[in-house]
Structure 1
Amino acid sequence: MSEHTLHYGDISWTMPVADKNLAAVLQSNPVTLPELEPEEAVREALRHPVGSPCLKEIVRPGEKICLLVPDVTRIWQSPAVYVKVMVAELNACGIPDSDILIVTATGTHRAHVGDERVRLLGGDICRRIRIIDHDCRDTAHLVHVGDTSRGTPVWFNSYAMACDKIIITCGVVFHFLAGYGGGGKMLLPGIAGYETIQRHHKQALNPGFGNGTNAEVRSANMADSNIFHADIFEAAAMARPCFGLNVVVDDDYRIIKAFAGDWISSHAAACRLVDSMDGVTIRERTPLVVASAGGYPKDINLYQTIKLLSNALGAVQPGGTMILLSRCPEGFGSPDVETQICAYGDMRAREQALRETFSIGSYVGFLFAEAAEKHHLILVTDMDASLFARTRMHVCHTLDQALELARGFLGPELDVRTTIMPHGASTLPKLAG
């Protein structure tokens, strides 16, 4: 018998598993990297670009440069660190502050309020550089740059497109739709129009009403089979980004490595590092998966818990049981998630609403409800069970309650092969072969 610690908010529980039943305990793979301070890691990347000349050979004095940066929902990337270094590099290339425009890639998110820009980028950058929050619904400041081969009309922020050069800056992690975050996502949805985002995002669904989600639209898949990813990069190429800076952070959100250079090649290099760290090989899918998001802040709300669900689905057998630990002190985290969970009584109604007005939040809610249709999905959360009454999700408030419920599905002794995921929001199971 072995015992395994699983975090839940700011507390933890212990999960006992008989040795003969323990299939795997998923932990990030150890990766040896040079021990550099975050700013130095970024400077090192700029000194050794991937697939590209150095920045000083790409930008010229007199040119207007647009820096695409994430919004405050991605503050875990430490943009205050890497944007400051990038601005200093542009200054060294002869580009003064007055010729730099920062556009926050908000996608469909709201504009920044209060001190959020300062927290995101630092007070010095906010005082020196002109900053614009992208507004996907401001049609007066969108420009049509073409259509993708899949029929997505590509409208981008006109302020960014009016600049001579566009540089992408971002952090890279697994993404449950695009394969990986960052890269082309900084343009679509980052600085795209609402119509563009809607048309593109619907590619996460299979064609034809009632056919649900596309299984190839998933974490770590950057092959052409993931049409969501392929459409992003086709659209992003229309903006002709001249350079990219991509950072990878550890579990404490500290930059441990950066990759700069060609916007596609440098992003791919960052993706390979993320995969080597957090892509964990498993030999089998199991009837029972017990997974924790990793505690606070990774389990702050149900919206963020989609990372945990997506990864756990990679380890569970078809029709198996998943116990997901996510405290969710801030509830659903999105009104669109809440609507999908609470407002509809069946999957057809959910899918109809999703196809009519697609949003990431709606898709997250749909995925939870869909997963509960195909598996025994037990959510351990502080949220009220009544909120999930119109889904097939089972809600408990402790791990012991969840295990008791699982015995009803798997037998009183839980004598089944089991996978434990202590850091389920970040570790992605990859089936051997």
Structure 2
Amino acid sequence: MGRLFGTDGVRGLANRDLTAPLAMDLSVAAARVLGEAGAFEGHRPVAVVGRDPRASGEFLEAAVVAGLASAGVDVLRLGVLPTPAVAFLTSTLDADLGVMLSASHNPAPDNGLKFFDRGGHKLPDELEDRIEAALGQEWQPPTGDRVGRVRDAHGAVEQYVAHLLSTLPVSLDGLRVVMDCANGASSDVAPEALRRAGAEVITIGAAPDGLNINSGCGSTHLDALAAAVREHNADAGIANDGDADRCLAVTGSGEVVDGDQIMAILALELKEAGRLASETVVATVMSNLGFKIAMREAGITVIETAVGDRYVLESMKEHGYNFGGEQSGHVIMLDHASTGDGVLTGLHLMAAVARRKRSLDELAKVMTRLPQVLINVKGVDKSRAGTSPELAAAVASAEAELGETGRVLIRPSGTEPMVRVMVEAASHDQAASVAERLSDVVRTALA
């Protein structure tokens, strides 16, 4: 059996992979492991629990709350809120543990569970492994006045929105923004924050019914947002995913602005304000070469990590950097948040438009996205991807052909029997040609 925890908590088909008994058992195990680690020393432990609007979140929330309370943890129910709001409130409310129920950008039948520590950061692998190992172990549950108590947290949305607004350097007065909430966790929070920041807001994907989350809307389906921006003659469109830890955008002309472009814009804003720590941005190996070129020309260093926002965050915390993210739209602004925050990112992106008095179309031109082709080669021995002499020679030849205007990345999948071949080049035709050629080598060399 593989590791239960993935790179972003436990996730799967609700009521089949992630069941109510499993959610309860995980919550009990988390309380026990954190208690044994000294996280609750000298005081009665408190946890906050939030969720996105998926139908399955209703019964899974009940299971998590029951598990925590049965383990002697007092529980504050936050209701439907973005993942970064739960992380923020875990810290602000001085809770010992935060729990979020969401499957992010996955379709409605899926759900997930992730834990945050006292400061609102995702638990390290070592603690997740200990929680998993504790599942099903015999234990002596508390009784009497030692059982946890449960209550609803009042004012959580207001606390989070007030925090978001406090980070903005300028008003958004005069801007018209279309906000696509993916029928997810930001459906109330994101439009409210934009309006209170001064923007005129048109909302789409903001009527969650428990089953329509991420369905044809949000950051994974940008066509509807682009159409709405053009229809309403808006300055820009902002899209979150289901739990609102991602943000992508659309310009007034309907062009997509991806995570790399958003990072480039915001990195320059931070550098100009003298607030970009060590004048460095942390990104993953999948960030477009055009982003790295733009940052180099601006005098900004780019540090690369493995794919996954948790690895970006780990590097930032380890080295004292305060800004980083992924091409997918996870943007981490550590001065204001302990995790990627799509609502915060959207607000600051629009603040850059307002401050510079330039359109998002213009700001996005700070970098030129080089054509990027990704091919997933299935059914190969991915364990030999880093040791095959034939593949190494083919990569070296391709890199020599591409020169400084392209690059090659061969990456074994972390979860499936496949190897990902990514090529960037000056033209799409060249990128596609090189990618196909390297994919053929992977199929023969790793068969």
Please classify the TM superposition score into its range, dividing by the shorter chain length.
under 0.3
Q: Normalised by the size of structure 2, how large is the TM-score?
A: 0.25
Q: Normalised by the size of structure 1, how large is the TM-score?
A: 0.26
Greater RCO (Cα-Cα under 8 Å, separation 6 or more): 1
